[in-house]
Amino acid sequence: NKIKTNNYKAVYNAISGLVLPVSAMDIRKVQKVWSTIKSGGEIKVKITENLDELRNDEMVIAVGSERTVQYVYQTKSEMIQNYFKIVDEANSQLIALLNKQTIANSEHFPIYAFSSICPELENTETYRKRQLDKIIDNISRIKACKSEAVSIDEILKETKEYKVANTIMYCVLNDTISLKQLRDYLTTPGHKIDTQYRRLLCLYDYLSY
């Protein structure tokens, strides 16, 4: 479009007052990538929606490597299952999705590491207190599982299955089994993500962070 005017000052003022959702620098970056795509460059393009049905304010353009550009939603159970991977990668964007979920009073959920990585996480003080209260409440029960074992393998060999988690907790709290041993046990493939696993993970999370 062309504009005919002698009042250039008004035009410049109007342009400078524009509030654009995308900066000029970002537009140039996208133009550069688009030029590479048109020239036959090796770029992977993934379209996840029907573009004709999307409004402008719903669209997102992300440019980067497959490792850094991700859109992932995980449930609380999936985040527990992937706890160590999320923490090791310090994936604050994924952790922030907890703000869209509710952690119930009855749930054993490891919040300490997540809250230290993601300052945007909401209700952290409530969740931390709840996690610690559950650990303290369990101390009276684990006293019945007193053990002098120095390895989790030893506990698994000598302890009835229903006592395993409490015995491990007893030994960890009494420093005969290290947090590294506990982590190795929790990251062993094949675990059921049941209440016993969650309790051990919450203890590891609290003592580590």
Show me where the domains of the chain are located. 8-58, 76-208
Q: How far apart are CA 40 and CA 49, in angstroms?
A: 23
Residue 41, both tokens:
């460059």
In the block, residue with structure tokens 């009276």:
140
Query: If you average pLDDT over residues 58-78, what whole number do you get?
Result: 69
In the block, residue with structure tokens 């090796």:
42
Question: CA torsion 12→17→19→23, rounded to 10°?
Answer: 40
Residues contacting 179, CB < 8 A, separation 6+: 172, 204, 207, 208
Q: What does DSSP assign to residue 180?
A: H
The tens digit of pLDDT for each residue in 171-198 reads 999 999 999 999 999 999 999 999 999 9
Q: How far apart are CA 114 and CA 87, in angstroms?
A: 7
pTM strictly above 0.75? no
pLDDT score of 41 more than 70: no
5 falls in which pLDDT band (50, 70, 90)? confident
- pLDDT at 72 (0 to 100): 64
Q: How far apart are CA 183 and CA 94, in angstroms?
A: 21
Query: If you average pLDDT over residues 60-87, what whole number do you get?
Result: 78
What is the number of other CB atoms lying within 10 angstroms of the CB of residue 209?
Answer: 15
What is the number of other CB atoms lying within 10 angstroms of the CB of residue 107?
Answer: 17
The tens digit of pLDDT for each residue in 144-163 reads 999 999 999 999 999 999 99
Give the residue from 170, 173, 162, 176 showing the smallest Cα distance to 145.
Answer: 170
